[in-house]
Amino acid sequence: MCEIPLDYVDTPHSEGAKSWSIARRLRPAQGQGINKSGLVWLGGFASDMSGLKAQFVDEWAKKNGQAFLRFDYSGHGASKGKFIDGSISDWLEQSLFLFHQSTQGPQILIGSSMGAWIALLMARRLALVENPRRLAGLILLAPAVDFTECLIWSQLDSASQRTIIDQGQWLRPSAYAPEPTPITRLLIEDGRRHLLLGNVIKTHAPVHIIHGLRDTDVPWRHVLNLLEHICADPVTLSCIPDGDHRLSRPEDLSQLGAALDQMNASVERTAIEE
């Protein structure tokens, strides 16, 4: 596969702090893909844009001639910064800036795990204060919406919670890396500013959720709770009975490809009807 070159985008900080240097790969649209929606990859917590799912979408975009943006949040992958300094607010702000700086026209957001939460927060921001027509659809993989509160903080014992409060971080054992993942007080407290569950979630675009029923990081009941809150827009749920949180096996990627095909077709039908 011909890899799109890596570049860095100077991303301003809204609070006046030093700007972030965000690593990006941007595949331009070609041929008939120029008239189709672009694709934007939003990765997971402590993940990066070089994973199998992001690479699969890149190949799919290349085949279909569609533009594809992927990048690493600050403190992730090839981007600059320290992971422990990051927060949902920071990663959302970076995602919105890269979205506007790197894309044009309608876009399909593809959010994996934490990236699904970021995608829904972006949809809310676009609808409230920007341009909802820039969002053509959302594909959410193992959506870890509100994970800092629902899937981490509320599951910790009192001793671990006290460690976060008193020491500023707690080292969480990781199933995906040899080193534990630091869970910071900043991450937990900032996450509470962005909680979505408990209110109606309006995306103003079709949503396709793909979830593995053997996902131990994001239990299926959490996804059903999310479904109950997205009640104003069309939602498709595809369950993979033996799928885990990674959703990176060939059969999982086939489901992702099918979702991309369906979303493309849905966007094209909507454009014709309008």
pLDDT at position 231 over 90: no
* CATH number for 16: 3.40.50.1820
- pLDDT at residue 142, rounded to an integer: 98
Whether 161 maps to a domain, the answer reads no
Asked if residue 230 belongs to a domain, the reply is yes
**265-274 pLDDT, tens per residue?**
988 877 666 6
Q: Is 150 helix (H, G, I), strand (E, B) or coil?
A: helix
Q: Does a structural domain hold residue 188?
A: no
pLDDT of 198 above 50:
yes
**Average pLDDT for the chain:** 95
pLDDT (0 to 100) of residue 130: 72
Domain range holding 41?
Answer: 7-146+198-273
* Confidence class for position 131, pLDDT limits 50, 70, 90: confident
166 in a domain, yes or no? Answer: no
Over residues 189-201, the mean pLDDT reads 97
At 132 the pLDDT is 73
d(CA 6, CA 179): 26
Q: Is residue 51 part of a domain?
A: yes
Following DSSP, what letter does each residue of 63-123 receive, concatenated? Answer: HHT--EEEE--TTSTTS-S-GGG--HHHHHHHHHHHHHHH--S-EEEEEETHHHHHHHHHH
- Is the pLDDT at 2 greater than 70, yes or no? no
179-207 average pLDDT score = 96
Q: Give the Cα-Cα-Cα angle 262, 60, 126 (nearest 5 degrees).
A: 65
What's the CA gap between 82 and 3, in Å, rounded? 26
Looking at residue 3, its pLDDT comes to 77
Residue 15 pLDDT grade (very low, low, confident, very high; cuts 50, 70, 90) = confident
The yes-or-no verdict on residue 9 having pLDDT over 80 is yes
Is residue 105 assigned to a domain?
A: yes
Whole-angstrom distance, CA of residue 18 vs CA of residue 12:
7
- Residue 170 has a pLDDT of 97
With tokens 């965000």, the residue in question is 22
Q: How confident is the model at residue 14, as a pLDDT? A: 83
Residue with tokens 């193992």: 142
Whether the predicted pLDDT of 30 surpasses 50: yes
Whether 60 is in a domain gets the answer: yes
Domain annotation covers residue 135: yes
Token code pair at residue 265: 């077709």
> pTM of the full predicted structure?
0.96
Q: How confident is the model at residue 1 (pLDDT cuts 50, 70, 90)?
A: very low
pLDDT at position 113: 98
pLDDT score for 75:
98
| Number of structural domains found in the chain | 1
